[in-house]
Structure 1
Amino acid sequence: MIKSHAHLLLAPTALLSQAIPAGLMYLTPQLVYGHNPTLAEDRLWLFSVTWLMLPALYGLFAGCRASYLMLTRSHPALAWTMIIAFCVPAWMQAVFYLHAALVFLAWV
């Protein structure tokens, strides 16, 4: 039963994964410049790029995969509703974070 509906969980997962970079952008100043710094300042750039890139790539992949699976396995009304509610925002945020990571890398 769960296996037949597992593809419906991928779209919310894609959107929730986009909260990781936002949370880390909020926590990074405390990790580096707080009273008890736990992250060395020279590691900040690598940390930022890595945690912008990974959720962005996962969000793009999971959003595309969820869209495909929902369009092929679900009722069209449910599929389009979930794509608009979960996949499109995940794609937009993932592209934003990927662009930010590429700007950090000076590729854009």
Structure 2
Amino acid sequence: MAAQNSMERVKLGNQGLEVSKLGYGCMGLTGFYNAPISVEDGIAIIKEAFNKGITFFDTADVYGKDHSNEYMIGQVTLTYCDAYCLDPRQMICALLRVPFLRFEDKIENK
């Protein structure tokens, strides 16, 4: 499990939620800038970030197909929640952006 004291934490908003001061941007996991990595490798990367104390993950639906970033974050959350009987809201905060229409979804090939 993450060493919660190894990373400085800050309050996010006014609800009392605390997250790591350093976040992890997930855009590179699913091919936005580069070729996508495997789901297994993505999960391993997110687990390693969490184990280092990062609890704030930035993602959006436009970053990959089929919400793969959200799936990977969810798998890590489930793994640790099951293993340590924790409330997922106390473990990982994922910043999810508003849905975005991709241009290729609207282009018709004629």
Fold equivalence (TM over 0.5):
no
> As a proportion of its length, which structure holds more helix?
1
Higher relative contact order, structure no. (Cα contacts within 8 Å, ≥ 6 residues apart): 1
Structure with the greater alpha carbon radius of gyration? 1
> As a proportion of its length, which structure holds more strand?
2
TM-score between both structures, scaled by the size of structure 2: 0.33
TM-score between both structures, scaled by the size of structure 1: 0.34
